[in-house]
Structure formats: C-alpha cells, structure tokens
Structure 1
Amino acid sequence: MKNDDYSDVVMAALHVLEESGSLPNIERENKCEKRSDKYREEGNIAFKVGDVNRVLEFYNRALMFAPKNSRAIQLAYSNRSAILFKMGQFRACLIDVETCCKLGCPTDIESKLIKRKNEATVRSEMENLSANLLTGYFKDCFKFDFKSNTPIRCASSDIEVMKGDAFKVVAAKDIKVGTPLALEDSFVSSNSEKNVPFSCHYCHKMSEPDTM
C-alpha cells in the first residue's frame, strides 16, 4: 500500500467475517440502576478492606451502568470522589463532587460531600503550590545549554572519544565540578504504583481527571 490507511483492508476483513458468520455476537448492555447499585456495594466492601484499585474499578462500573439523572449516578459520583480523595487524586475528586452537585446531590450525603470538597480544595491548592516550586527548581537543574558533541549527540563538546585499544570518553578541557555533560531520554521507565490506575500503560502520561 502507498500509505498507512488500512481502512479498506479492515472493512474487507469485516465483510469476510460477517459473510462467514465468524464475527462474534457482542451483546449491548443497557443502563441498569440495580447493576449500578450492585457494583457500588461491591466497591463499598472493597473500600473497607483497603483494596483501593478494586474500589475504583467497582465505582467506575457503577457509573457505567447508572441511568441518567438517577440516584444511582449521584451516589456513584459521590462514592468515587471518596476513593479518589483517599488515593490523593484531589483534582479528580473535586470534579466528581462538582458533578454530583450539578446532578442534584442527595440531601442525606450533602454535608459529607461539602466537607470532602473543602478538604480536597485545600489539599489540591497545597499540591499545586508544591508542584510549582518543584517545577521551578528542576527547570534550572535540567537546563542544558551546550555545544553538542559530534560523535555523541546527547553529550557536550566538553568531552571527547579517544580511540586506542578500546574506546574511552575523556575530558576535552578542564571541566568545572557540577557541569552537566550529557542528557538523553531514558531507555526504560516505570510508573509508580499509585499512578497506575490514572495513567497510560504505554507512555505513562497521566489522564485528565474529567476523562476518567
């Protein structure tokens, strides 16, 4: 093919599967308040034993099945805001609290939700302040303004490669202590355990709270 557009191939394969009866029958699952309540209750049980990732999974499922404008969807947002708060995802927690309020927060949980909102707001502001301070600090730490080394593109021209019995890297001139000499992207990276439920498994980029 002359380009990377494989849509024709995909549609042809789909047609073959349909004609041969090989396409799996995928049943559509409708909104159901009872199923939403069931998943929310399972999340509540997991919450008591501290299995936070399972809690988040159950509350997400509760939201998936909750009918529009139902009490189930209000409670699902409220409960998910609680686990997000516990996991330190304060911005996401605030978004769920606001969503629950817009949907018409049940009066029996209103005071609890307002308290959570106030606490999450304070924590979020503190988190933003810390992040801004760290960003300013590391911005200078990783500022790497140098003349590139021709044989080693990620390295400074302050060093050079010498050939002999073996290749070795040596200083090309007197180098001040603390001078950065090379900077390159990591070959391998891993995500922190607490961020796994909120980030891409491929690039580790954090998801926006309102797209969870």
Structure 2
Amino acid sequence: MTSSALTLVDWRRRVAEMYAAVRSETDRESAWTQWRAARDGLFREHPQSPLTADDPLRDSGLPYWPYDPALRFEAELLDVDEPEPRIVDAGGDGTIEMHLAGRVELPIGGTLDVWWLHQYGGGIFVPLRDGTSGDGSYGGGRYLLDTAKGSWLGGTDTSITLDLNFAYHPSCRYNPRWQCPLAPPGNTITARVEAGERL
C-alpha cells in the first residue's frame, strides 16, 4: 500500500510537471508534441500506468488525431444557477462530489459545463463527450481538464484556456480497475472533435 501511494504521488507530480512544460512553451504544436511524448513515457514505464503489462499501446504509444491550431481558445466562464451537487460513484475511492462552477461556449458549437470537485484540495473538471464518442474515441468521453490531477492549460479569473487537441481518455478506458466520472449531459456536444486522443 505504501509503495502504491508513493508511486501515485510520483505519477501526479510528473503529470503536473508535464502541464507546466506545456504552459511554458510558446509554440503550441511543439508543446502538444512534447505532451504526447511525456504521456507515452508515463504510460509505457510508470508503475501507475493504467495499461496492462501486455497492452500493445506500451510499444506503439497512444493514438491521436493531428494537431489543429483552430481548436485552442480562451473561454469565458459564464455564470449558471447552481443545481444540487452531482455525486459520482468512484468505486474504491468512494464518491466524488461535483458542483457546477460555470459554463463555457465552444466556437465549434455547443457548451460545456465546468465543474468544481468538492473534495480536499478541490479542482476544475471539464469532461467532454462529442460526436466521436464510441466512433473514434472512447464511448464514455474524454477529459479536457482535471486540475486535481495536474491538467491545467491556463486562464484568468474569468476565463479558462481550452485546447481540444489535449483531450485525453480517462484511465477507465484502458483498465476496468478504474472507475472514472464520465461526461454528464451538460458536457455532451454533437460536433465531432477529431482532435486529441483517439482509439
């Protein structure tokens, strides 16, 4: 248990460092290429990798659509009436309580809810289910931001940076031992986002 806890801390530290490197790089496509290489290294070698030991993705790397610079934008966080908190079953980790923090409009059409994870330390969480879900990407959707785990591309006190090229599959896509919060209706759009991680 102790070893597992320490390797999880190391995984989260390395993910946070990976996103810090992305934020510091001015060439966005180069930052994305470096992010991909860092993720492949973690998935291939790290003890906390969600890939099983015999998963061919350890050798091939994770697949992605080509980088599209038009899919990076600053999104103003719009006010919303906060409904009751959303409680999500997280398997062995108990439950996750999420509060609606706002909503962002996407230039490609549709809106996404922005959630605040109401656990110790908190964090912004933006999942995405789009027209590729189940037809090009994982059916349960992908994540754009999960700051509790280090993924943050930047923002201000009124907006967040979204880059759909950085959409990634949750761990449960690779291994049933994880139980992940999936995209609710307010994080579902009809457009096909052929950017980011794919099947």
Normalising to structure 1: TM-score of the pair? 0.26
**Greater length-normalized contact order (CA 8 Å, ≥ 6 residues apart):** 2
Higher strand share: 2
Higher helix share: 1
